[in-house]
Amino acid sequence: MTWDWEKLQQRRQRPVGPGPNLGDFTERVKEWRHLRPPAGRWLVLAGVLLWLASGIYIVEPDELGVVQRFGAYHRTTDPGPHYHLPFPIEKVQTPKVTKIQRVEIGFRGSTAFVTQGGAQIRLVPEESLMLTGDENIVDVQFIVQYQIADAEKFLFRISNPEKTVKDAAEAAMREVIGYNKIDSALTDGKLAIQNETRALMQRILDAYESGIRVVAVQLQDVHPPKQVIDAFKDVASAKEDKSRYINEAEAYENDLLPRTRGEAARLVNEAEAYRETVIRKAQGEAGRFTAVLAEYRKAEDVTRRRLLIETMEAVLGSDTVHKIIVDTEAMGRTLPLLPLSPGGQR
In a domain, 138, yes or no: yes
Is 5's pLDDT higher than 50?
no
Q: Which of 227, 259, 280 is the last residue of a domain?
A: 227
Range of the domain at 331: 312-346
In a domain, 326, yes or no: yes
Mind listing the pLDDT tens digit for each residue in 70-125? 888 889 888 888 888 888 888 998 889 889 999 999 888 754 444 455 557 788 88
The angle at the Cα of 305, spanning 299 to 309, to the nearest 5 degrees, equals 140
In a domain, 149, yes or no: yes
How many angstroms separate the CA atoms of 336 and 74, rounded?
A: 147
CATH number of the CATH domain containing 185: 3.30.479.30
Q: Taking all residues of the chain, what is their mean pLDDT, rounded to a whole number? A: 80
Burial 101-137 (b: 16+ CB within 10 A, else e): eebbbbbeeeeeeeeeeeeebebeeebbebebeeebe
Q: Residue 67 is inside which H or E element, if any? A: strand 65-69
Per-residue pLDDT averaged across 269-274, rounded?
90
Q: What is the pLDDT at residue 193?
A: 93
How many angstroms separate the CA atoms of 122 and 120, rounded?
A: 7
Q: What is the pLDDT at residue 8?
A: 43
Per-residue pLDDT averaged across 20-47, rounded?
62
Q: Which of 164, 197, 161 is nearest to 179 (CA)?
A: 197
In the chain, which residue ranges form alpha helices assigned H by DSSP?
5-13, 22-33, 40-53, 125-128, 151-156, 161-178, 182-186, 190-207, 229-298, 300-316, 328-331
* Total number of domains constituting the chain: 2
Per-residue pLDDT averaged across 282-294, rounded?
84
In a domain, 183, yes or no: yes
The confidence band for 218, taking pLDDT boundaries of 50, 70 and 90, is very high
Exposure on the CB side of residue 80, measured as CA atoms within 13 A: 4
In a domain, 96, yes or no: no
Q: What is the pLDDT at residue 24?
A: 60
- % pLDDT > 90, the chain: 23
Q: What is the pLDDT at residue 223?
A: 84
Q: Which of 181, 200, 227 is the last residue of a domain?
A: 227
Q: Which of 197, 227, 257 is the last residue of a domain?
A: 227
- % pLDDT > 70, the chain: 77
Strands in 78-181 per DSSP E: 80-83, 90-93, 101-105, 107-108, 114-116, 119-123, 129-131, 137-148
In a domain, 200, yes or no: yes
In a domain, 317, yes or no: yes
In a domain, 307, yes or no: no
